[in-house]
């Protein structure tokens, strides 16, 4: 069957940047899911990860995540209110739960309960297609798009300590990183009022808009 590439990062002229997307086989399961997506594909411009939304604005967040070969995943963290489910459709995912590492292969799933320190990665040379579900997402519904959006947005700096302080504040009470991710703890608390006064936000409505992602990430059929 024929294949094509989609999900590439778009440059300032709206042209796809080579090497930044993923392949889709015509008539495949992946193409069917792309046709059923509930919104535009999202991505990170410098990491091999893409999100294909499968749910609407309410209830659990369901996403078909495309994790490219070698994707190293997020730092270890835990959720105080949200439960996560990872169901692997193809490839495999290495998941670490409270220090114990396991491989989740195609056809298998794993549930991460609240309070469980976890991380995940694709340590293979093949991509992994994974249905992820976040139950009781709370502020994650706004913050997750902001993390990717900041990375794409040339008008803002995702590494700015003031920006990181407000992202950490937005996640307070839901998600805690257990080591060295950005600004944390007392430092974040001290910077939060300064960041607010300077006009920073922990989550931006801009990154929830489909138009933003269509302007920054190639969509199928466009």
Write down the pTM of the prediction: 0.93
| CB-based contacts of 13, cutoff 8 Å, min separation 6 | none
Rounded CA gap, 217 and 5, in Å? 12
Flag residues of the chain having pLDDT under 70: 179-187, 222
pLDDT at residue 104, as a whole number: 99
Question: Strand 47-53 to strand 42-44: parallel, antiparallel, or no bridges (unpaired)?
Answer: antiparallel
Confidence (pLDDT) at 218:
99
Mean pLDDT of the chain: 94
Give the pLDDT confidence score for residue 186 in this predicted structure. 54
At 154 the pLDDT is 94
| Residue 111 to residue 149: CA distance in whole angstroms | 27
Q: Strand (E) positions, 91-154?
A: 92-97, 100-105, 109-112, 118-121, 128-135
Which tokens go with 180?
A: 């060295």
Q: Which residue has the tokens 């730092």?
A: 75
pLDDT of residue 178: 86
Q: What tens digit of pLDDT does each residue of 81-137 get?
A: 999 999 999 999 999 999 999 999 999 999 999 999 999 999 999 999 999 999 999
- Helix pair 161-171, 140-152: axis angle to 10 deg: 160
According to DSSP, residue 129 is labeled E
Q: In what order do the strands lie in the sheet with 175-177?
A: 100-105, 92-97, 118-121, 77-79, 175-177
| Domain boundary assignment for the chain | 142-207
């Amino acid at each position: 069957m024929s294949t094509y590439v989609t999900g590439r990062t778009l440059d300032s002229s709206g042209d796809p940047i080579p090497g930044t997307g993923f392949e889709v086989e015509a008539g495949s399961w992946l193409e069917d899911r792309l046709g059923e997506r509930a919104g535009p594909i999202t991505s990170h411009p410098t990491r091999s990860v893409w999100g294909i939304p499968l749910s609407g604005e309410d209830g659990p967040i369901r996403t078909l995540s495309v994790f490219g070969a070698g994707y190293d995943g997020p730092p270890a963290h835990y959720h105080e209110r949200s439960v996560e489910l990872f169901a692997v459709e193809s490839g495999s995912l290495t998941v670490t739960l409270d220090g114990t590492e396991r491989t989740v292969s195609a056809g298998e799933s794993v549930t991460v309960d609240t309070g469980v320190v976890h991380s995940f990665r694709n340590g293979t040379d093949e991509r992994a297609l994974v249905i992820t579900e976040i139950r009781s997402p709370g502020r994650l519904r706004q913050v997750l798009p902001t993390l990717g959006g900041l990375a794409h947005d040339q008008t803002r700096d995702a590494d700015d300590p003031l920006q990181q302080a407000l992202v950490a504040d937005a996640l307070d009470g839901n998600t805690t990183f257990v080591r060295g991710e950005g600004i944390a703890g007392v430092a974040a608390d001290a910077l939060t009022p300064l960041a607010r006064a300077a006009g920073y936000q922990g989550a931006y409505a801009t990154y929830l808009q489909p138009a933003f992602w269509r302007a920054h990430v190639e969509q199928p059929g466009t």
